[in-house]
Amino acid sequence: MDQVVAQAMLKWPDVPHCYGWLGLDARGAWRMRDETAQRQNLPGDKIMHAALAGFINRNYSADQQGCWYFQNGPQRVYVDLELTPYIAHTDPARGFVLQTGEPMAAINAVMLTEQGRLLLIAPGQVAAIDDRDLAQCLADLRMDGETVSDEALLEWMTTPSEHQILTWQKTGTTLPVAHIATENIATHFGFIQKPRQT
């Protein structure tokens, strides 16, 4: 957290929280959601200002209920998540990098949805792979130790079978791939996709 943010929180401890105005899309872009975007359930305008995006990244966290937020000075701005709290991108030098700019911690689990969304899980992190990086990541999947065909992968995604073992192999690590329904991701990992005032 930025020092200026911590100081503002001490100075103005009772600023009301903000809901619905900030979103994180499935490609890791922050989106400003004005009243029209909220009313029409639109993603909102992508935040293109690098300094503002960096400020959000540095002050992004979650509360004890699993609601993710950006601490904007004394105000907590809760984030609507399109998919997961983190989105990972591939980086040739650093491996998987989150939308916050941090490298992912050691990956200890991998999941795949019925829609073909690949999730990487590390301690304290669940990240969906940006779909623009998905093709190269799917190339790391193996079925019964062999490169998996598109047809076999599609079949596994729709009706996973315990007789066909899907694994993810990356830099000397082999992990089993578990199936998860998209609608169950938030509940499974204990986060709230759209925090709202109660």
Per-residue pLDDT, 8: 58
**Do 110 and 119 form a contact (C-beta atoms < 8 A)?**
yes
Per-residue pLDDT, 162: 76
Output the DSSP codes for 132-169.
Answer: GGHHHHHTTEEETTEEPPHHHHHHHHHS--TTS-EEEE
Per-residue pLDDT, 163: 79
0.75 surpassed by pTM: yes
Per-residue pLDDT, 197: 85
**Along the chain (198 residues), what's the average pLDDT of each consecutive run of 10 residues?**
64 75 97 92 93 95 96 91 97 94 94 96 96 93 90 89 87 91 97 92
Tokens 């995006």 belong to which residue?
53
93-129 b/e (C-beta count within 10 Å ≥ 16 → b)? eeebbbbbeeebeebeebbbbbeebbbbbbeebbbbb
Domains of the chain with bracketed CATH = 3-81 (3.10.540), 86-183 (no CATH)
**Do 137 and 129 form a contact (C-beta atoms < 8 A)?**
yes
